[in-house]
Amino acid sequence: MIAIPPLPRPQPADEECPLDETVWNVVHGEIGDGAMRVYVESYLELLSERIDGAEGATAAGQRSAAIRLLSDLRVGSGILGADRLAALVATVEAALRRGPPGDRAVDWSRLRAQAHVAERALRRALSDLERG
């Protein structure tokens, strides 16, 4: 049986842990340390790129391209237990689906801030995996 390291406890600045421990543990238990490490590293590598790409596509009037990038980000975030980020991405997706009025309602800085919180938590969890 593989020992699953617990997720890091929230830091004082965090209201709660930005990762769902149950989701993290289930996925980790299913795929193991190596695959989890690779998936998290790939997710983190693409995190900013997806947000930047979605914002750029939105500015260029290419909502469908932005929605595809955001959909990938939402699903990946959900798989890793980054539920708050996944929920916020879903909200942005819904706004973009409404058309141009929704485009103006998107708060990209809020999305980036939540992505940064999730990134820090995932890096801590990744560090715990590496320490084994």
- The DSSP code sequence of 45-75 is HHHHHHHHHHHHHHHTT-HHHHHHHHHHHHH
pTM of the complete model: 0.84
How far apart CA 86 and CA 79 sit, in angstroms, is 9
In a domain, 4, yes or no: no
Domain count, the chain: 1
Q: What is the pLDDT of residue 16?
A: 59
Q: What is the pLDDT of residue 6?
A: 43
Residue 8 has pLDDT above 90, yes or no: no
| Residue % of the chain over a pLDDT of 90 | 76
Residue 57 has pLDDT above 80, yes or no: yes
Cβ neighbors of 55 (< 8 A, separation 6 or more) are: 66, 106, 108
Mean pLDDT check: name the lowest of 13-27, 50-64, 79-93: 13-27
Residue 71 has pLDDT above 60, yes or no: yes
What would the two tokens of residue 76 be?
């990946």
In a domain, 39, yes or no: yes
Q: What is the pLDDT of residue 87?
A: 95
In a domain, 12, yes or no: no
| Residue-number span of the structural domain to which 31 is assigned | 21-131
In a domain, 110, yes or no: yes
In a domain, 42, yes or no: yes
Measured in whole angstroms, the distance separating CA 35 from the mean position of its chain's CA atoms is: 17
In a domain, 60, yes or no: yes
In a domain, 70, yes or no: yes
How far apart CA 55 and CA 67 sit, in angstroms, is 10
Q: What is the pLDDT of residue 99?
A: 83
Cβ–Cβ < 8 Å for 3, 43: no
**Count of CA atoms in the C-beta half-sphere (13 A) of 4:** 15
In a domain, 8, yes or no: no
Q: Specify the CATH number for the domain of residue 63.
A: 1.20.120
